[in-house]
Every structure is written in C-alpha cells, then in structure tokens.
Structure 1
Amino acid sequence: MDTAFPPSLMCRLDEIPDDGATAIEGVAALGGESVIVERRGDAVRAWLNICPHAGRRLDYAPGRFLLKDELLICAVHGASFNRNDGVCVAGPCRGEHLRALAVELRGGEVWLLAAG
C-alpha cells in the first residue's frame, strides 16, 4: 500500500558515497525509522532499514552496509538483496523484499516522497 505524505528532505546527494549507501536516522515522516539511501551517480534508491527476515537493521554499524557487486547484504543473517529492486535473492528470506520508498533528486538534495 502506498503511503503519501508531504515531501521531506532526507540528505544531500554528496553525503552518500557514489556506488555506496548510507542510513538516514529518525525520519519523522516514517515514525522515526532508519532509511537506507543507495546512490549510483545521480540515481538514488531508498528502503526502510529493516530486514524482512527478522525485523533487524541491515547495517553492521550505524550507516555502514555490506555491498558486494549488485547485492546489499544483511549483516545479521546474510540475506542478500538485489540493489536494483530490493528483492531477496539469497538467504533466509529469499523472495521477500525490502520496503521501497519513493525518493527524488532535486537540486542536489534527496527528497522522500512516499512509502510503498
């Protein structure tokens, strides 16, 4: 179910490592949740920082993620998610997916638009 709310500024694009990811903590529009923001050049994607397997965060330290090739790997149980669509392709929750968030790049800033 799509949840729309007023657009909210998440971060600046240059705060996300190119071909990397970071966590944005305490996103008010999402009830204070942590969000993964992944960047490739000027393209950004975002998901809730919650693994569907056990409901734990995916980062191994705050804002630090295991990225290998096209995968984002949960540091707790090794679930491996496709970085293009958030689908789990290996591990304990194969076939499930990360909760995607609609984001948009505006003038070098990443804005959160909706939760899917």
Structure 2
Amino acid sequence: MSKLIDDLLKEHKKLFSLLDELHNIDKEGAKEKLFESKNLFLMHLDKEDRFLHSKFDEAKSKGVNAEENVLKFKEEMEEISKDVVNFFDTYKKGITDKIQFARDFGKIYGMLKIRMIKEETQLYPVY
C-alpha cells in the first residue's frame, strides 16, 4: 500500500472519530468539533484531488483507459462535498435545534460512511 493511500485511510478513521465525538457532544462543545471536522474533511478532499484524482486525469489525457467508475468517484465526491460543506456552514455558529441537527448529522454521516467504504474497497485498490 502506498504512503498516500495509507494517509488517506488514516484520515478516514480520524474524520469518523471526530464525527463520533460530535454525535455525543453537548451544544457548547459542538462548535469546535464541527470546525475541526470541516478542516479535516477539506484537507482530505484537497489531498485526494491533488494526488489521487490528478493521476487518473493524467492517465485519461494520455489516452490510457482509466476505469470509468474511478472517474465517477470524482464527480460523485464533488456533489457530496457540497452537501457536507453546507452542513458545516449551517452549524458553524453552533447548534440551536438539536432535533434538526440530529437529522442533518445523520444524513451527512451516512453519506460519508458509504462514500468512504466505496473509496476504500473500490477506488484505493486501483491506485
């Protein structure tokens, strides 16, 4: 396994560790964990874009037949990213409605969990 993939896997674990903490935190502590989670998520996306997806784009531009589903991963993540960033932006000042937060959090958590499992089982092995 390459160092890049190893680092990305560690970031997945760290992000879900932060999200699990956030799931069980009170309103006062949530703001800091949200900020920390958002920063890790954005850093992770940037790393994937710069080092992982760029390799597939480079191969495609040279006429190498990169797997179609690999390219779909990039497009799918762009859509998920919009939802995740919107979630973090919505709650950046804190949580006012715990029930709505729980709904929104569950949606984002599920999206990210499914996505990261797909990356780990389908995308990273191709790299």
Give the TM-score of the pair, scaled to structure 1: 0.31
Which has a greater percent of strand?
Answer: 1
Greater helix content: 2
Which has the larger Rg? 2
Normalized against structure 2, the TM-score is what? 0.29
| Structure with bigger RCO (C-alpha 8 Å, 6+ apart) | 2
